[in-house]
Amino acid sequence: MKQDQFIANYQPLWTALTAWLDYQQLSKKQREKQGLSEPALDFPQTYRQICHHLALAQSRMYSPLLIGQLNDLVIRGHNQLYGARLQFLHRFAAFYLRDLPQLVRRSYWAVLLSGLLFFGSFFAMLIAIQVEPELVYSVVSGEQVAGMEAMYDPERTTRFGREREADSDVFMFGFYIRNNTGIGFQVFAGGMLFGLGSVFFLLFNGLTIGAVAGHLTHLGYIETFWGFVAGHSAFELTAIVLAGAAGFKLAQALIMPGRKSRLLALRDNSQVAIQIVYGAATLFIMAAFVEAFWSSQVWIPVTIKYTVGIVLWVLVIAYFTLVGREQARAT
């Protein structure tokens, strides 16, 4: 193929990529000021095509000017492709090392309300069952109680916290993720019912978990049950509270939109709520991993499980109270 025909065939593609790269280099303000919208382009595929065109031009010994133009285009595409990946990693790290803990601290009222509802109902039921053991059946069915007793029986020689002995750690990891995220979604989505749904699910889960904990404690299954939950409790319980806080952010927009319309307030608050949910989801996954591969192991001494559990609680509390404070002061 002659050079003129080669250029005629592929110049529109090169022009489209150049326009797309120029757009990417503009700031958001510049784009809005100029009224520009992002050109439609499948960048990865187009970039591979341009690389192929450069290789063809070099092998056919087209003019140095054309080869230079294609080479510059390939370099710009390479920088955009791999620069975007670095930017993603930077944003990812910034979210967890700065944005998330700062966001949780700014939403302290929602976190406190969620924590009071969940932990208040949890400890109230746990203590009440030590006084009146039969209260457990007002929250948990007899069949479920029997299952829990079997799962944490001190005579158990296999993994704690499992009904079926054949289940693998990997299977249980997936099961715990599904179960945990299901709870979190209910608590979060309940905020759309003017917060009543979040209140209900926080109280329901607090009472249920408190009932199980209180019953097993009353039976004397201290080491088996509390040893099991010690490791993952910091992640899982904190995640439930954060999901509730995110739900209350949605409720705030519906109940107290201020000078905004409810729709606008909901849109603004949902952006904050979703970021808190990202943090809750991360904690749920971490809890599922610890629960599947650490908490259930019977060979680990309970003192080590307690020690690890305490350390993880300290780290979680320190993360949300301390991380990101220096950046906040600097700004």
Alpha carbon distance 87, 79 (integer Å): 11
Contact 39, 16 (CB under 8 A): yes
Q: Domain limits of the chain?
A: 3-95, 107-330
User: Which ranges of 95-194 would DSSP assign to H, the alpha helix?
Assistant: 100-106, 108-131, 142-151, 169-189
Q: What are phi and psi of 188, to 5 degrees?
A: -70, -50
Contact 161, 228 (CB under 8 A): yes
The pLDDT tens digits of the residues spanning 172-210 come to 777 788 888 899 999 999 999 999 999 999 999 999 999
CB environment 281-312: b (16+ within 10 A), e (fewer): bbbbbbbbbbbbebbbeeeeeeeebeebbeeb
Among 84-88, 226-230, 313-317, name the one with the lowest average pLDDT: 84-88
Over residues 68-79, mean pLDDT: 88
> What pLDDT is recorded for position 163?
54
The pLDDT tens digits of the residues spanning 255-290 come to 999 888 889 999 999 999 999 999 999 999 999 999
3-class DSSP assignment, residue 261: coil
Share the mean pLDDT of the chain. 88
Find tokens 């989801």 and name the residue.
281
User: For the chain, what percent of residues have pLDDT higher than 70?
Assistant: 92
> What pLDDT is recorded for position 166?
44
CB neighbours of 233 closer than 8 A, spacing ≥ 6?
Answer: 287, 309, 313
Evaluate if pTM is beyond 0.85.
no
Alpha carbon distance 254, 240 (integer Å): 22
> What pLDDT is recorded for position 84?
62
The pLDDT tens digits of the residues spanning 225-239 come to 999 999 999 999 999
Alpha carbon distance 182, 178 (integer Å): 6
* 175 vs 306, higher pLDDT: 306
The pLDDT tens digits of the residues spanning 118-165 come to 999 999 999 999 999 999 999 999 998 998 888 888 887 666 665 544
Tokens describing residue 105: 């601290």
Alpha carbon distance 291, 96 (integer Å): 22
Tokens describing residue 249: 């952010």
User: Which ranges of the chain would DSSP assign to H, the alpha helix?
Assistant: 3-25, 28-34, 43-59, 64-94, 100-106, 108-131, 142-151, 169-189, 196-219, 227-255, 262-290, 302-322, 325-330
